[in-house]
Each structure stands twice: as structure tokens, then as C-alpha cells.
Amino acid sequence: MPRKAPIPCCSEKDRQTLAEWANSRSIEWRLVERAKIINMLL
């Protein structure tokens, strides 16, 4: 069975940036999706 990847630590500023990207309509769709996925993991 494969190992789970460790979840990296994240500062409050990084979390805020990810939240802004996840709700953005002006950046690329793939970055928005990636930000949403990372937010779910944190």
C-alpha cells in the first residue's frame, strides 16, 4: 500500500492567498481548482 504524502505546514498569509485564489474569477481555472484542492487538505 502506498504511503500518504505529508501535508506541508502553511502560514495564515498563505491560507488567505489560497482562499482568494479559490474564489477568484480572473485567474486561470486550473489554479482556482488547485487552490480549492489544497484548501480542502489544510
Nearest to 39 by CA among 24, 9, 19: 19
pLDDT for 28: 93
Contact 21, 27 (CB under 8 A): yes
Q: CB neighbours (10 Å) of residue 38? A: 17
pLDDT in tens, the chain (42 residues): 788 888 778 899 999 999 999 999 999 999 999 999 988 888
Separation CA 38–CA 15 (nearest Å): 9
pLDDT for 32: 94
Written as one letter, the residue type at 27 is: I
